[in-house]
């Protein structure tokens, strides 16, 4: 039997391989369903979409197998219009993601750089499998909303992410492919209490992240740690599940408080962030995000796990 408030028979965000065995250097996945969900109509649609993705990518791989899309480092001010307007081509699929999660190339003009081709992760809404505690066809929107909060903090936690109304398989989320280090021991990083993770823990508390696994942390060559897989965020009920409990109950640092305080007017009714979120979340979800931020500002401490909700996602990685 599923726990009260837990995604029904869900394993959020498992993806380790690219179709046909190519290795993974970055990941980005919405909540995923197990085989019991395959009977749902939307699961059937997702399977059809995957088949389309297979067909679309058959012509692309070389004799050496599928090629990973190029990771191109673009600042948000260049990346976001590039992702919104560029031409998409499917080049592969993350086969262990139960939601349709596709690797694509994006080609378009970038100011002062000319024509650029960069990799991205594309998650069409029609490939989302249902979760009992999240409204259907909203996971892609939640990923974009999480990026908006990330940008408002200035912490660059979420790679550039946009919502595309048009794509090879219809509307969905598009996120820039991120180059990552392959020599990082994530478990050792978590145990170390690396201070770079503090801001991600606070971000997750604001967006109510129900699925912060170790595998959702990406360590870039420049040392920046980013997070992906934010499809199960912004629920109106307490859902925080994370591997980042190192600082529970401890004081939020003054510099972190300044960032959270600056976020508050942006999230107020009529604020720039609230207006941006309104395109992707409903009013109650935005109100609860505001309430969670107010709680952090009032307590000045990192949150504790909720007594009625599992503290850590399963599997943790």
Q: Which of 42-46, 224-228, 259-263, 297-301 has the lowest mean pLDDT?
A: 42-46
Instruction: Please state, as a whole number, how many other Cβ atoms lie within 10 Å of the Cβ of residue 80.
Output: 17
Listed by start position, the domains of the chain span 19-299
On average, the pLDDT of the chain sits at: 84
CB 230 within 8 Å of CB 213:
no
d(CA 142, CA 28): 13
Statement: residue 74 has pLDDT above 50 = yes
Q: Residue 53 — pLDDT band, cuts 50, 70, 90?
A: very low
Q: Which of 56-60, 95-99, 205-209, 282-286 has the lowest mean pLDDT?
A: 56-60
Statement: residue 106 has pLDDT above 70 = yes
| Comparison of pLDDT for 95 and 300, the residue scoring more | 300
**30-43 pLDDT, tens digit each:** 333 333 333 333 43
Q: What is the pLDDT of residue 16?
A: 36
Give the residue-averaged pLDDT of 182-197: 95
Q: What is the pLDDT of residue 64?
A: 53
d(CA 257, CA 108): 39
**284-301 pLDDT, tens digit each:** 999 999 999 999 999 999
Q: What is the pLDDT of residue 30?
A: 37
Q: Is 63 exposed, middle or buried, given 0-12, 13-18 or 19+ CB atoms closer than 10 A?
A: exposed
Q: pTM score, two decimals?
A: 0.81
Nearest to 18 by CA among 58, 56, 60, 66: 66
**114-172 pLDDT, tens digit each:** 999 999 999 999 999 999 999 999 999 999 999 999 999 999 999 999 999 999 999 99
**Percent of the chain whose pLDDT exceeds 90:** 75
**Burial annotation 149-188 (CB, 10 A radius, 16+ → b, else e):** bbbbbebbbbbbbbbbeebbbeebbbbbbbebeeeeebee
Q: What is the pLDDT of residue 68?
A: 75
């Amino acid at each position: 039997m599923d726990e009260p408030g837990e995604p029904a028979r869900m394993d959020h965000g498992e993806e380790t391989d690219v179709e046909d065995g190519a290795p993974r250097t970055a990941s980005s996945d919405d909540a995923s369903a197990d085989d019991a969900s395959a009977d749902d109509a939307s699961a059937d649609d997702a399977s059809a979409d995957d088949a389309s993705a297979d067909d679309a990518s058959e012509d692309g791989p070389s004799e050496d197998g599928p090629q990973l899309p190029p990771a191109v480092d673009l600042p948000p001010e260049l990346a976001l219009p590039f992702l919104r307007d560029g031409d998409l081509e499917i080049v592969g699929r993350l086969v262990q993601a139960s939601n349709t999660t596709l690797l694509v190339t994006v080609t378009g003009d970038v100011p002062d750089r000319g024509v650029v081709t960069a990799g991205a992760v594309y998650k069409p809404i029609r490939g989302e499998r249902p979760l009992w505690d999240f409204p259907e066809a909203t996971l892609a929107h939640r990923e974009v909303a999480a990026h908006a909060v990330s940008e408002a903090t200035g912490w660059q936690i979420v790679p550039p992410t946009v919502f595309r109304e048009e794509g090879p398989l219809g509307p969905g989320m598009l996120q820039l492919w991120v180059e990552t280090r392959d020599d990082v021991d994530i478990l050792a990083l978590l145990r170390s209490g690396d201070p770079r993770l503090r801001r991600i823990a606070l971000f997750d508390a604001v967006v109510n992240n129900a699925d912060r696994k170790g595998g959702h942390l990406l360590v870039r060559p420049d040392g920046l740690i980013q997070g992906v897989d934010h499809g199960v965020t912004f629920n109106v009920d307490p859902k925080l599940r994370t591997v980042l409990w190192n600082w529970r109950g401890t004081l939020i640092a003054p510099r972190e408080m300044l960032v959270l305080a600056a976020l508050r007017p942006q999230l107020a009714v009529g604020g720039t962030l609230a207006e941006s979120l309104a395109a992707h979340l409903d009013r109650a979800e935005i109100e609860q995000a505001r309430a969670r931020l107010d709680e952090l500002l009032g307590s000045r401490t990192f949150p504790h796990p909720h007594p009625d909700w599992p503290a850590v996602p399963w599997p943790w990685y």
